[in-house]
Amino acid sequence: MAELRRYRTVVSDSALWAGFEFRTGDVVISTPAKCGTTWMQMLCAMLIFDTAELHRPLTEISPWLDAVTYDTAAILAELESQQHRRFIKTHTPLDGLPFEAGVTYICVGRDPRDAMLSFEHAAANIHPDAITSGGLDPQVSQPPSEDPLERFWLWADAEFTPESSTFGVTLANLVHHVRTFWERRDDPQVALFHYADLKADLPGQLRRLATVLSIEASEQRLEQLAAAATFDRMRKRADELAPGVDAKLWRSNTNFFRSGTSGQWHDLLDPAAVERYTGRVAELAPPELAKWLHTGWSGLR
């Protein structure tokens, strides 16, 4: 078995997985930041519990195991006590996770440009008290430049690194994360979803997820559950669904679900900038993966 790569940022450390005891049936939701993590957690919750009504905040039911801003011992104890099928959040790529038999590993991709802009909005929404109480440097949440285009190129041109003194959110790291799943996409334990596909056909993607998790549900039930997991419906339930509500992480829980739209990068990048960006992606990903990242599975048909 290959040695696991260790990923560390100001908010996470993949080495914390070493203390976790897997069970057959566990689900690991591993996504780059702002690519649909909470959405996928909600979809898994609805299928596992066969309801859209949760008995407590989603972040408690499906904790971020390797976050250093939480009490790891308490998270491990919580997961050990759970009797239902467990589904756990992480932002660690697949090559940094223990790969255990009987466990399903799910990744969600998104157009990296949309993910980058969404992350900027999320960083601006972090409550100052959460930064200081969590032991984070206040400068971590500050933009490195006032110019949004300059920030974009800092993000796009940065090299991949498994360790970062900030959040580790760069184009290279996002592509690498998805690529660790892409290269194992034919493994029955691995499933790749895309934000664009979820937006275009949520009932169909929920059906696919049910198949991945070997959960039986009628078409009528899938339609009902999908209707409860639209972006607008989740936004209205931000106080129970947004991550970090227990730690009062956000200035506004509602603004965590800011818009859920795609293509806002069009307002930032002119044709020359798009060409430069496309060239950078080509340095990081093979053509089929690059296309999938920007279109989802529908774009490969």
Domains and CATH numbers, the chain: 14-300 (3.40.50.300)
Angle at 277 between CA 271 and CA 283, to 5 degrees: 145
Quick one: pLDDT at residue 1?
58
What's the pLDDT tens digit per position in 180-224?
Answer: 999 999 999 999 999 999 999 999 999 999 999 999 999 999 999
Quick one: pLDDT at residue 220?
96
Quick one: pLDDT at residue 127?
44
Quick one: pLDDT at residue 132?
46
- pLDDT higher than threshold 60 for residue 102: yes
Quick one: pLDDT at residue 130?
47
- Mean per-residue pLDDT for 56-62? 92
Write down the catalytic residue from 55, 84, 91, 121: 91
121 belongs to the catalytic site? no
Percentage of residues in the chain having pLDDT higher than 70:
84
Percentage of residues in the chain having pLDDT higher than 90:
69
Q: How far apart are CA 51 and CA 224, in angstroms?
A: 9
- pLDDT higher than threshold 70 for residue 257: no
Quick one: pLDDT at residue 126?
54
Q: How many residues does the chain have?
A: 301
- pLDDT higher than threshold 90 for residue 22: yes
